[in-house]
Structure formats: C-alpha cells, structure tokens
C-alpha cells in the first residue's frame, strides 16, 4: 500500500464531444482528488480540443490505437496497459467497451463496473440480437452495473438478464454554476411577434438524433412564424445531408449549423426553446443543461426523457412518430413567451433539486467505495 488514493481506469471508445464523454469529464473534474485518482483509456484516441476540458493535471489519457474493425491486437495492448497501471477499479461504458471487462478480469483487476448510457445509432432500442449476445456474454465478468435511467435499468434486467441487486441507477448531473439562465429573477416579457425566437438543439448529427424531423417541423412553423430561427450545434456523418435538406425546404437562411462547440453554456443562453427530437435517449445531458439554463424543453417521449422532463410543467413531450405533435409542441412556446419563461424557471428549479453535479459525484463515490469494501 502506497497511501495514495485508489485508481480508477475509465475505458471509453473515444474521448470526443458527446454526452457520455462530457459526463465522464464532469465526474473526473469534480470528484475530490483525495478520494480517487483516474486514468482514461480510449480505444480510438481523443479529440485534443475536447480533452482540454479535463481540469485535473494528474489525469492521464491513453489511447489503445484501435484499428478499424475487429482489432485483436488492441485487446493485448489493453491487457498490458492494465497490468502496468494496476487500477483498483475498471469502469467500462456502453457496448463498445463492455468486452474489455474480460480483459480486466484476466489482468487481475478485482473490481469491475460497467455503465450503460444509451444505445447505438444502429440499435436505438438496445434489442439487436448480436448486441444482446455480447452483453450477456460479458455479464459474468462485471461486478456492478450503473444505468443512467430507470428505463435502462429495467432493460438490463429484462433483456440482458442482470439481477437487480447488481444494478445502481445514477442520474447525470449538471454544473449549476456553468449552466444558468440568461435573465435576472424579474424580466420584462415582450410578446411582440417581430421579436426573433430561437429554437436550439445540441447533439451529434446522427440518425438516432432525428434532425430530419426537426427540420421538417421547423419548415412548417416558419411559414406561419417568420420570426423563427433554428440553431443546430454538433457535427457528424449527416451534416452535409441535413444542410442540403434545409436548403431544399427553403429554410437554409434561417437554420444555422455551427458544428461541435466548446462553449455550450453560452450557446444555451442564446436559445429561447431547447428541442431534442431523438428517437431514443438514455438520460440526455443536453436536456438537463437546457433546464439548468432556464429553457423549456421539447423532446420525444422516449428512453429516460419522461424521467427528467415533466410534461406541461418544465417542457412538452411528444410521441416520436407524431410529426404534428413535435410541431404543435414547438408552436405552443413560439406563440407564448410567458409560458416559455414559466416552464424554463420550473425546469431550473427541478434540476437544482434533483440533478446537481455534486449529487451525481456523491453517488459514484459511494458505489466505488462499496466495491472496494467487498
């Protein structure tokens, strides 16, 4: 024993812009350094810009330099790294890294955690037979599971076959100092229709995020409400296709694609309404950040969204197959600035009471402590 805090090896696919990765960085930055040390193992490298979000100088980020496809050599490299750094706990996340649990077991790491934060774009409901086979095959190697929503916890029980006693449910947390409303406690509400109303969304440009439906709803609303603007933050495989669709719908001048951005809190404060049209979600960091920023939220009634958005109180939920429902939910806020303000304030209060970053960190520390005590 060296007297140093225990070391956690966090294994993720790639350290880049995304909700899972942002949650990991928040956890590492906020966890008391005298309690735990951290090393991050990335299968496929990291984005240097995003990596700068790690504030602790003692956190090492290592890449396993995974090659495209099935790279058997990557498993040997992972085993060697784990044998060298000797973590007390290994914490993998999502399908892309779950099979590293067996590598951690053969490397002699006694305490092994796996987190489920959502599903893949090619398997939005987590029911693809191959994915389930992989998860079930790795189940014996995993000591504890962490799910970010009750919905995912239920899925782990029902479809992966994990006993409830091995599942801990921990909601993501928000940094309330960074994400806050743009307005003071009392603000004048101007209902002049000439004022621009900005709808905003943040997330990777991926089919599961369903930006196509958002562009179609925005185009329909724009005919009746010429004061509307849409800001799409994020990058991904569909960017060119979505930009072409916006032009074809005649809304190219009113939709701003700004790519991945490192100043999300400031961007949030330029939105009037936050919308997330995903066809599935775990627990969305961006929804929580929008609520902390005092924004009403429009989102599909999928995954963990109903666990954080209170329909008719902090936002509007709609059925993801109902394009008219999305349009109507957005229109209710576009047409009523007082409602926007009321639901935004209620959302901020809900996050303060239930989804603070400190509460999230405390839960993770408790789980890690319990693991080491066994």
Number of neighbouring beta carbons within 10 Å of residue 311: 15
pLDDT at 188: 38
Between CA 59 and CA 185 the distance in angstroms is 39
Where in the chain does DSSP place strands (E)?
7-12, 37-42, 60-63, 89-93, 111-116, 144-147, 167-169, 197-202, 228-233, 255-259, 273-276, 297-300, 315-318
Domain with CATH 3.40.50.2000 in the chain: 7-173+356-373, 197-354
Angle, helices 323-334/211-224, rounded to nearest 10 degrees: 50
Mean pLDDT, 10 residues at a time, the chain of 374 residues: 86 92 94 97 95 95 94 97 98 97 98 92 83 97 96 96 97 94 54 74 91 96 94 93 96 94 90 94 92 97 95 96 93 95 97 94 97 92
CA-based angle 174:180:186, to the nearest 5? Answer: 145
Between CA 300 and CA 213 the distance in angstroms is 11
pLDDT at 374: 84
Q: Report the SS3 class of residue 256.
A: strand
Nearest to 294 by CA among 340, 348, 374: 348
In the CATH scheme, what is the code of domain 197-354?
3.40.50.2000
In the CATH scheme, what is the code of domain 7-173+356-373?
3.40.50.2000
pLDDT at 321: 86
């Amino acid at each position: 024993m060296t007297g140093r805090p225990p070391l956690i090896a966090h294994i993720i696919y790639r350290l880049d812009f995304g909700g899972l990765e942002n949650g990991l960085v928040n956890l590492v930055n906020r966890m008391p350094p005298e309690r735990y040390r951290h090393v991050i193992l990335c299968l496929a490298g990291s984005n240097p810009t995003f990596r700068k979000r790690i504030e602790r100088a003692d956190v090492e980020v290592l890449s396993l330099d995974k090659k495209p496809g099935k790279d058997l050599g990557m498993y040997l490299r992972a085993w060697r790294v784990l044998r060298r750094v000797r973590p007390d706990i290994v914490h993998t996340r999502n399908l892309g890294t779950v099979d590293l649990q067996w590598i951690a077991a053969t490397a002699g790491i006694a305490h092994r955690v796996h987190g489920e934060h959502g599903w893949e774009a090619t398997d939005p409901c987590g029911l693809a037979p191959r994915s389930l086979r992989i998860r079930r095959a790795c189940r014996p190697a995993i000591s504890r599971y962490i799910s970010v929503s009750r919905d995912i916890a239920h899925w782990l029980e029902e479809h992966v076959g994990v006993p409830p006693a091995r599942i801990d449910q921990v909601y993501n947390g928000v940094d309330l100092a960074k994400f806050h409303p743009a307005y003071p406690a009392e603000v004048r509400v101007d209902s002049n229709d000439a004022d621009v109303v900005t709808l905003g969304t943040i997330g990777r440009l991926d089919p599961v995020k369903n930006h196509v439906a958002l562009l179609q709803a925005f185009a329909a609303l724009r005919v009746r409400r010429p004061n509307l603007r849409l800001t799409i933050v994020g990058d991904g495989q569909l960017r060119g296709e979505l930009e072409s669709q916006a032009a074809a719908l005649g809304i190219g001048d009113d939709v701003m694609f700004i790519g991945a951005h490192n100043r999300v809190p400031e961007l949030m404060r330029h939105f009037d309404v936050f919308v997330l049209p995903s066809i599935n979600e775990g627990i969305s960091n961006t929804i929580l950040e929008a609520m902390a920023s005092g924004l009403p939220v429009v989102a599909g009634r999928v995954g963990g969204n109903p666990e954080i958005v209170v329909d008719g109180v902090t936002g509007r939920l709609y059925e993801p197959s109902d394009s008219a429902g999305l349009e109507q939910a957005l229109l209710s806020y576009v047409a009523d600035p007082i409602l926007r303000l009321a639901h935004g304030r209620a959302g901020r209060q809900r996050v303060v009471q239930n989804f603070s970053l400190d509460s999230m960190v405390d839960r993770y520390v408790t789980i890690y402590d319990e693991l080491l005590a066994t």
